[in-house]
Amino acid sequence: MLFQAKDKMVFIGDSITDKGRKKDPLKLGNGYVRMLHDTLTALYPELSLKIINEGVSGNRVIDLEKRWTLDVMDHKPQWVSVSIGINDVWRQMDAPDVEQVYPDRFEEVYRRLLDRASSIPGCRLILMQPTVIKEYEDSTGNLLLKPYVEAVNRLAEQYGAILVPTHEAFIRFIGCDTGQDLTTDGVHMNSLGDTLMASTWLKAVLAHKS
């Protein structure tokens, strides 16, 4: 069994993870984290897994660093799932005058976060590729996103983390030309997009047996 009884899982990221958690009595929101909570609870009721959503809308990796102690380390979780990178790219397009987080800095800061999380006894890391910016592969946002996806891939390998290939799953879906959208605005998920995120996470994580 991959999970142990009463394992604590922290999901941290931006608005895609947040998904209205502060208005939710369970503080889970109505996105992929809630779907994973419900699915894992249904699959493993005997384990009493604890799911904690620490997504904050608008966050970039530098924002995660500012709150990493309170929102990750203090929980002393057995699992940390990170989904970040969309705003690190999006700010380059919608707010070019603000301080930017380019790929090298993104990877440097992300590495510091993983170093800290790795110091938690028994903590396992799950890294989710950033999803998409507009629902066509060659959008400016998706082209800018590529080195951030590559950075997440490298970090997952270097830290022995479970890689969730979310970006690859979204690009594959878009290429199938189903006529169905995954987002409401090119970034924020509709229910189908949340389902694709959750199912991709489950497939990647449950494939690991130890």
CA angle 177, 195, 204 (to 5 degrees): 100
Rounded-to-integer distance, Cα 63 and Cα 59, Å? 5
- Under DSSP, the state recorded for 118 is H
Rounded-to-integer distance, Cα 115 and Cα 101, Å? 19
User: Which residues are catalytically annotated?
Assistant: 15, 185, 188
Rounded-to-integer distance, Cα 5 and Cα 108, Å? 34
Contact call for residues 89 and 97 (beta carbons, < 8 A): no
